[in-house]
Structure 1
């Protein structure tokens, strides 16, 4: 019964958010509550949830103050010169902008931290997307795909977890998977180029329609339209409604170098991992507010300006504690894992490596990496050992699902990404999930073809 309830709960949650029938925060609270009570949690459901929320609190604090800090930096104009420089390099071609997003996210992903990658990528690229009228969900899709693919680097969490759980070295797991990583990145860049091409065509149609409606001549998508007074006024009006208004009152050009030094210091502390990340952003946001907005009223107004984004993402993180608490507290996660391993017949035992790769996609999406790599992978590896499949091969197969895992609502970094880009989680999932599944399958297939992952043993 717990197995059925667990899968039904997850399917219900995904259906509600992907069809936009309920916000993710409400779905994360109400759906697990109902299924938890049906599953026999009773009066103990509150303690289950609070135990999970205690673990979520540092993440909620990190996201709250990270959003505030970078919102302040964008408002005061720190990234305006960067956007001008990127614009000169990439021009106004949406296809090049999307590929540039993929390159930036891929390079920053080398540090192994999703939150840092999404903070830097969004801060640098989102203003450019808004200025060109591009869809921010394209940014979240490309950044999420690249980061999930790069998440298998040996200093990243999944590879270390898989290696530790099965008693092998991270380098043994990673190095033979380099062809898979390369193939996954190629697919990511192909998707980025296609998404950019689609944005180029969409914006070209809008531009043509707009000018035709004004009585002006239609232009080809790659041609710049003639600038008219009314067109310029329309652009200026839309710009004034965003953080990109060049005349916004929050600009602090005289403090540009101070804000740059402060941001560099924050990023160095993030990479050095000397202090908890939440504390770094708390202090950074406090210093940024104090220096850029010395008046009490201005400080209050600036905090209020970012309150909607903060409430949305922090509320979602804390609400995720309900889902995690019910899954763990009722035993649904354990029951689901045991059921999955028990239904694999002996006749498929020789295929356990690719089966593990396929299972890693949905299972790491619906549960944490810790739960999968320390709870389920050892059981699968033990079964596979009876058929002659080595632990390192099982570890290699298990990490191919990371492009899908990174899109999970249980991953705090992806909640930060969609919040910074002001994108609905359901819209992000509709755009990214099938592409992430394709990348994962390609990585698994290349692993099988090249050799580290055996297709069949016995």
Structure 2
């Protein structure tokens, strides 16, 4: 009976998450409470489950709040602008180098872990360049989205925070084994950019002839400069090198692991804010500008802590796992993590990020443990298999914004992307097995 209630609880939560009618916090908080009451638990017991669940994710919440505030502040101060402009100049309008620059610019822009800000930073300056060079705009979204997806393995980007809250582990420790995979993923995206750049250059020359690339770059840069005059009021060019050094130091501390990630971002933010914006009214304005994003992510993680605490504390997850193990064919069980990893990217077309990590992962982890699959292997397989397709998912609000900015269609975007990104996803899974990140 407990497993049936657990299944129904998870299915209702997933259904409400997919419906898009409610913010994720609402079903994650309310539906498990109803399920626990139906299973015979009282409010006092449910309160204990809640305390335990929230206690497991509070460090992740702190990290998200201050990571979003920190990188939002760095964007306001113009940390990434000179590098992006230099990459556009470096491309010289060559189709292949423009493709490579698209990957590199997206990787830098996604350091804040926000898909929306990444697209806002990359598409406005790059889209006119693509249009004037007669390059396919769907290639722009493929390269930017794929690069940002690989960068989405950063601890503060979302998927790892969700995974850490499910596994009750430290998010930076979870990230460390993924650093080589992240680097290899970016290399694969650069190789893909070169290959598709050659193909695109051939298509353009056959259809339009040779284009004056240098004149195109100069025109696009001048237009972009005029359009960003309002943003430049917040820029702090004199603080550029200080902000660069501080950001490298914060990320270095994260990799080193000497202090918790949230504490590192808290310190970095408290140093950067008064030095970049000495006036208290400006400091308050910067906090208010980025607090909505920070609190939205924090509230979802806290709600997920409640959800997982109730499902775990009530025994629903164990009951679901035991029931599933009894009916699953024995030959599939030991390789369940690989099966889910291979199907991870197609799951992006069926499940939202919250449903994938908060509903599917905990159930898969419990089932896999019955076949001797350790939790980290299950998590890494599902992360690596899924994450490259982050921005082909119709459940990604940031992607819809990107399509709007570029005036493109979702269906064509998915068809253009899925073959290449699924291929990279499968290669990364194989590499993860070979270097021991995922165990068989």
If the TM-score is normalised by the length of the shorter chain, which range does it land in? 0.5 to 0.7
Name stretches of at least 5 consecutive residues in structure 1 with no aligned partner.
109-115, 149-157, 163-173, 198-218, 382-390, 410-416
Q: Report matched runs for 1:284-295 at 5 Å.
A: 284-295=268-279
Match of 2:61 in 1: 60
Match of 2:257 in 1: 273
CA gap of 1:281–1:439, structure 2 versus 1, over 3 A, is same
CA gap of 1:407–1:372, structure 2 versus 1, over 3 A, is farther
1:306 matched to 2:279: no
Once residues 419 and 42 of structure 2 are traced to their aligned partners in structure 1, the CA distance between those partners, rounded to angstroms, is 37
Match of 1:34 in 2: 34
CA shift, 1:439, in A, is 6.7
CA shift, 1:7, in A, is 2.8
Match of 1:339 in 2: 323
From 309, 312, 315, the counterpart of 1:328: 312
CA shift, 1:8, in A, is 2.9
Once residues 323 and 246 of structure 1 are traced to their aligned partners in structure 2, the CA distance between those partners, rounded to angstroms, is 42
Q: Is the 8 A contact 1:105 1:121 kept in 2?
A: no
CA shift, 1:193, in A, is 9.6
1:257 matched to 2:258: no
CA shift, 1:307, in A, is 1.4
Once residues 249 and 379 of structure 2 are traced to their aligned partners in structure 1, the CA distance between those partners, rounded to angstroms, is 36
TM-score, normalising length from structure 1? 0.59
Q: Could you report, residue by residue, the CA deviation over 1:263-307 in whole angstroms, capped at 9, with x for unpaired residues?
A: 121121111111111111101000001111112111111111111
Q: Could you report, residue by residue, the CA deviation over 1:173-211 in whole angstroms, capped at 9, with x for unpaired residues?
A: x9xxx9xx99x99997899899999xxxxxxxxxxxxxx
Q: Could you report, residue by residue, the CA deviation over 1:330-380 in whole angstroms, capped at 9, with x for unpaired residues?
A: 2111111111211125xx44x54445532566898446978866x543421
Once residues 94 and 47 of structure 1 are traced to their aligned partners in structure 2, the CA distance between those partners, rounded to angstroms, is 59
CA shift, 1:251, in A, is 1.3
CA gap of 1:421–1:73, structure 2 versus 1, over 3 A, is farther
Q: Is the 8 A contact 1:358 1:401 kept in 2?
A: no
Count of matched residue positions in the alignment of Structure 1 and Structure 2: 368
From 144, 149, 174, the counterpart of 1:144: 149
Name stretches of at least 5 consecutive residues in structure 2 with no aligned partner.
128-136, 154-162, 168-177, 199-207, 348-354, 391-395, 403-409
Once residues 91 and 444 of structure 1 are traced to their aligned partners in structure 2, the CA distance between those partners, rounded to angstroms, is 35
Query: SS where residue 380 of structure 1 aligns?
Result: coil
CA shift, 1:408, in A, is 12
CA gap of 1:98–1:47, structure 2 versus 1, over 3 A, is farther
Match of 2:9 in 1: 9
From 384, 408, 417, the counterpart of 1:403: 384
Q: Is the 8 A contact 1:17 1:27 kept in 2?
A: yes
From 349, 355, 370, the counterpart of 1:379: 370
Q: Is the 8 A contact 1:364 1:401 kept in 2?
A: no
Task: Tell which structure's C-alpha radius of gyration is larger.
Answer: 1
Q: Report matched runs for 1:119-158 at 5 Å.
A: 119=113, 127-132=121-126, 139=144, 143-144=148-149
CA gap of 1:329–1:78, structure 2 versus 1, over 3 A, is same
Q: Is the 8 A contact 1:404 1:436 kept in 2?
A: no
Q: Report matched runs for 1:90-239 at 5 Å.
A: 90=91, 119=113, 127-132=121-126, 139=144, 143-144=148-149, 239=227
Match of 1:112 in 2: none
Q: Is the 8 A contact 2:337 2:377 kept in 1?
A: no
CA gap of 1:73–1:99, structure 2 versus 1, over 3 A, is same
CA gap of 1:266–1:319, structure 2 versus 1, over 3 A, is same
CA shift, 1:23, in A, is 1.7
TM-score, normalising length from structure 2? 0.61
CA shift, 1:75, in A, is 0.5
Once residues 190 and 379 of structure 1 are traced to their aligned partners in structure 2, the CA distance between those partners, rounded to angstroms, is 40
CA RMSD across the alignment: 5.6
Q: Is the 8 A contact 1:101 1:125 kept in 2?
A: no
CA gap of 1:32–1:78, structure 2 versus 1, over 3 A, is same
Q: Is the 8 A contact 1:357 1:400 kept in 2?
A: yes
Once residues 295 and 45 of structure 1 are traced to their aligned partners in structure 2, the CA distance between those partners, rounded to angstroms, is 46
Q: Is the 8 A contact 1:98 1:142 kept in 2?
A: no
CA gap of 1:292–1:418, structure 2 versus 1, over 3 A, is farther
CA gap of 1:398–1:136, structure 2 versus 1, over 3 A, is closer
